[in-house]
Amino acid sequence: MKSLDWFLLLLIIVFTVLRSVKAQNQAGFISLDCGLVPKNTTYVEKTTNITYKSDADYIDSGSVGKIKDAYTTLFQQQVWALRSFPEGERNCYNVNLTANRKYLIRGTFVYGNYDGLNQFPSFDLHIGATKWSSVKILGVTNTSMHEIFHVVTQDSLQVCLVKTGPTTPFISSLEIRPLNNDSYNTQSGSLMLFARIYFPSQSSSFIRYDEDIRDRAWLPFSDNETMSISTDLPIGTNNFYDVPQAVMKTAAIPANASKPWYLWWTLDDVSAQSYVYMHFAEIQNLKANDIREFNITYNGGLSWYDYFRPPKLSISTIFHSIPVNSPDGKYNFTFTMTGNSTLPPLINALEIYTVVDITQLGTDKGEVSAMMNIKKTYGLSKKLSWQGDPCAPQVYRWEGLNCSYPDSEPSLIISLSLKESELTGTITSEISKLTTLKELDLSDNDLSGEIPAFFADMKLLKLINLSGNPKLNLTVPHSLQERVNSKSLTLILNPTLKGEGKKVPVIAIAASMAGVFVLLVILAIFFVVRKKKPKSTTAPGPQSVTARIVKTETIQSNPSIITKDRRITYPEVLKMTNNFERVLGKGGFGTVYHGNLDGTQVAVKMLSHSSAQGYKEFKAEVELLLRVHHRHLVGLVGYCDDGDNLALIYEYMANGDLRENMSGKRGGNVLTWENRMQIAVEAAQGLEYLHNGCRPPMVHRDVKTTNILLNERSGAKLADFGLSRSFPIDGECHVSTVVAGTPGYLDPEYYRTNWLSEKSDVYSFGVVLLEIVTNQPVIDKTRERPHINEWVGFMLTKGDIRSIVDPKLMGDYDTNGAWKIVELALACVNPSSNRRPTMAHVVMELNECVALEISRRQGGEEMYSMASVDHSLSSASEFAPGAR
């Protein structure tokens, strides 16, 4: 009897230890019970063994509340409490994470009539500066759960609740879980959960941690069209997705095995792009003659996967590397037995996600860190606007900040005003980390200590206002005095100290007197010039209080070309080309000649009088290239606008255009696969800069291999901007314009609608990629499929990439990389612009292709191949699936 007692006691101890280990084995988990008080409270939730803590250390605002007691028995403990935000438009959680790591981020919302108003809230969720989702509470006890897979680009993350109407935002729990970076990959954007289901054999609840080590929530699903089967045997689930055993041990089969089986769903957003993951494992003990084999199609017969046989007691995940969409938002997947099959199809689990483009660039991470430290140092948490990202989006920029928004780069802080902010203590050195700061106002506070010398090292700083700080020592450091003396910085100090007879340093008085004197001189000059200047017909505008010297010049006959810095006369053109001695090439625009300008080789494009490229296009190209500079865009050395003689003088590209090099006209040397990948990357970077690096953004409109030029090192630059057009940035996604471009490269959607967008360039670039891979003409009427897009798709029905790759390469290329670039190219030439990737994504994918080729040449190809898609099993559909 005693032995039995000891045995039971031992079991209890072991069980308790195991529960404790499971509860603690949550590495990287952040589990916040929002509104939990006191703030140092933690607890282990009974059904999941997850340890929750208060959210108080992650947010500076909000009011705590609790759902009505009558509803607590319906929910897990982490949603009993909540935090609401009656004040401020944007309230944000700030969480420290690991940069470049993929995370599951989940917000849960249970209203429970916590405020007694019985009024169902609606509001938006943001990740950083970008909207993630909209929360709409539909009932007192309805649970609204919003989940996203997101790669964190910095070492911190802001999750924000944004007020969009009269109701008050709130949140019950916020959970963040690390994911495998090799899983759930996208062409661009993050993945928002639409559905994640499994097919249990009996009534079951949802599955979470600790059965799912990633703490995904799997919901049970059943209907009258399906039956459920199950097994007690373990399933091999060793792939990137870590699907739980409890999920994979059950599966659904059609109730009527003789008919096709349908799985369907509808998305409200018909423009949404989707990623679908299907998990399969054979869990029945098949007899000797049993075969389970089926085809999967979707939306009217498009092939998803053919002749699929689920592996026995082992997981196989089928997905597409390219997102799918539906014009009416309806998705219908059909599972059909093949002629060989004796058993009906099955599926164990299904995941559906929609793409969220987290595109809004935030503030530079160093400046975010500095502002957070400034906020903490001076106890500025009560500033309601100081939530989330300091600069982005602009509508929610922190009070007292002005920011610059560089093209394709994080925002930077250029002015900071903390006037009358009740600051105490010394001036923090964190301010010195705001490297682009131009103006700093710390006036009318209670700061003490010394004026820091680091101000002198902030080279862009032009104005510092320290007036109204009676405890501040006004002795100016020597290095700062020098900057004041040189007039590169204005320093405003107290003229007198309240209640004291202490004098202002001489340098401050001198600076003030000098400033007054300079101002008087400038005013005198202004009135003298104004007397002599004829009256202008221009309406008066607001005048700046800061004196500036403005250099003016007479505008020439063409008012649009506003600079003469690079203007060259026609006699100078004759001289530099030696009377047009050497022709480099000819086109519809005219002839390009070799030239020499001050010892530097140049290319001179003379506009023919009969050219289709008229003066408008000439002017557009000049103005674009005068303001656009990028290492992969051909630079403008100068231009000639001399009567009827129009010329553009470019930097010289010694190796001609890509088409010539592909065809062998430049000496017969074959471009290697590595050369081709590098050229593709560099041309894509130039195009991506036009789309995202220019303000306003530009659409090239004539991307083709003859407009990609190569220098003596085969470095690529995009050329010929005569057809380029500005692209709107105020919420519109296209402009209406007359169709222009080159046949074969022209976006069919643009041709049909006259609506121009950056995706028109993406289409043309996709054609270029296919040329790079195949070295085939864009249009060849002798082929069975004349256009290169159709020909490549037709040839790939054989499943052999070698049938399309340029035979001149003699097989010296990376097969995985070839498949990758062809898939990318076919995505670019998708007839629907919404389904094409952005150029930023194209650049990222091409960089991976370069890395694959470099790895292959260094003997590392096998490592990638083991984790890559098995293309030999791919169908010939537009979207090739992958199974792992």
Confidence of residue 520 (pLDDT cuts 50, 70, 90): low
Judge contact between 107 and 91, C-beta under 8 A: no
What is the side-by-side strand order in the sheet with 401-404?
Answer: 401-404, 412-417, 439-441, 463-465, 490-492
Query: Is the confidence at residue 296, as pLDDT, over 70?
Result: yes
Query: Is the confidence at residue 508, as pLDDT, over 90?
Result: no
Which residues touch 705 (CB under 8 Å, ≥6 apart)?
657, 658, 659, 662, 768, 771, 772
Residues in the chain: 884
Q: Which pLDDT does position 730 carry in this prediction?
A: 39
The values of phi and psi at residue 833, to 5°, are -65, -30
The values of phi and psi at residue 670, to 5°, are -85, 130
Instruction: Render 471-492 in DSSP notation, one character per residue.
Output: TB--PPPHHHHHHHHTTS-EEE
Sequence-ordered strand ranges (E) for 609-707: 636-642, 645-651, 698-699
Confidence of residue 610 (pLDDT cuts 50, 70, 90): low
- The candidate with the shortest Cα–Cα distance to 852, out of 884, 800, 814, is 814
Mean per-residue pLDDT, 795-821: 86
Which of 162-171, 226-235, 358-367, 590-599 has the lowest average pLDDT? 358-367
Neighbours of 439 (CB within 10 A): 16
Across the strands, what pairs with 102? 151
- Given the candidates 3.40.50.300, 1.10.10.10, 2.60.15.10, 3.30.200.20, the CATH classification of the domain at 571-584+592-651 is 3.30.200.20
Dist. CA 133–CA 28, nearest whole Å: 24
- If you average pLDDT over every residue of the chain, what do you get? 82
Note whether 11-179 and 193-356 share their fold.
Answer: yes
Which residues touch 333 (CB under 8 Å, ≥6 apart)?
262, 263, 264, 276, 296, 297, 298, 304
Q: Is 605 annotated as a binding residue?
A: yes
Q: Which pLDDT does position 884 carry in this prediction?
A: 39
Helices (H), 296-413: 365-377
Q: Which pLDDT does position 573 carry in this prediction?
A: 93
Neighbours of 719 (CB within 10 A): 24
pLDDT tens digits along 16-65: 444 444 444 799 999 999 999 999 999 999 999 999 999 999 999 999 99
Confidence of residue 272 (pLDDT cuts 50, 70, 90): very high
Given 33, 364, 389, 702, the catalytic residue: 702
Structure tokens that stand for 458 in this block: 């902030």
Q: Which pLDDT does position 750 carry in this prediction?
A: 74
Q: Which pLDDT does position 224 carry in this prediction?
A: 85
Judge contact between 852 and 286, C-beta under 8 A: no
Mean per-residue pLDDT, 658-685: 87
Dist. CA 350–CA 367, nearest whole Å: 42
Mean per-residue pLDDT, 472-495: 90
Judge contact between 754 and 828, C-beta under 8 A: no
Helix, strand, coil percent content, the chain, rounded in steps of 5: 25, 25, 45
Q: Which pLDDT does position 353 carry in this prediction?
A: 97
Query: Is the confidence at residue 717, as pLDDT, over 60?
Result: yes
Q: Which pLDDT does position 565 carry in this prediction?
A: 59
Higher pLDDT, 676 or 644: 676
Q: For the chain, what percent of residues have pLDDT higher than 70?
A: 81
Which of 423-427, 428-432, 529-533, 700-704 has the lowest average pLDDT? 529-533
- The candidate with the shortest Cα–Cα distance to 380, out of 320, 422, 348, 439, is 422
Structure tokens that stand for 830 in this block: 């998708």
Query: Is the confidence at residue 740, as pLDDT, over 70?
Result: no
Judge contact between 193 and 104, C-beta under 8 A: no
The values of phi and psi at residue 428, to 5°, are -70, 145
pLDDT tens digits along 198-209: 999 776 788 999
- The candidate with the shortest Cα–Cα distance to 187, out of 883, 834, 847, 824, is 824
pLDDT tens digits along 844-864: 889 888 888 877 776 543 333
Domain ranges in the chain are: 11-179, 193-356, 365-517, 571-584+592-651, 657-883
Confidence of residue 227 (pLDDT cuts 50, 70, 90): very high
Query: Is the confidence at residue 866, as pLDDT, over 60?
Result: no
Across the strands, what pairs with 411? 363
Dist. CA 697–CA 96, nearest whole Å: 33
According to CATH, what is the number of the domain 365-517?
Answer: 3.80.10.10
Dist. CA 457–CA 453, nearest whole Å: 8
The values of phi and psi at residue 794, to 5°, are -65, -45
Query: Is the confidence at residue 245, as pLDDT, over 60?
Result: yes
Judge contact between 127 and 157, C-beta under 8 A: yes
CATH architecture of 11-179: Sandwich (2.60)
Neighbours of 473 (CB within 10 A): 14
The values of phi and psi at residue 802, to 5°, are -65, -20
Dist. CA 168–CA 451, nearest whole Å: 44
DSSP type of residue 100: T
Dist. CA 735–CA 752, nearest whole Å: 14
Q: Which pLDDT does position 438 carry in this prediction?
A: 94
Burial 364-375 (b: 16+ CB within 10 A, else e): beebbbbbeebb
User: What is the largest distance, in Å, between two alpha-carbon atoms of the chain?
Assistant: 117
Q: Which pLDDT does position 208 carry in this prediction?
A: 95
Question: Is 702 labeled as catalytic in the residue annotation?
Answer: yes
Using DSSP, state whether 454 is helix, strand or coil.
helix
Confidence of residue 728 (pLDDT cuts 50, 70, 90): very low
Q: Is the dihedral of CA 360, 364, 368, 374 positive or negative?
A: negative
Dist. CA 364–CA 370, nearest whole Å: 10
- Given the candidates 2.60.40.10, 1.10.510.10, 2.40.100.10, 1.10.150.120, the CATH classification of the domain at 657-883 is 1.10.510.10
Dist. CA 844–CA 834, nearest whole Å: 19
Dist. CA 329–CA 569, nearest whole Å: 59
Expressed in angstroms, the distance from the first to the final Cα of the chain is: 54
Which of 62-76, 611-625, 818-832 has the lowest average pLDDT? 611-625
Decide if domain 193-356 falls under CATH 3.30.300: no
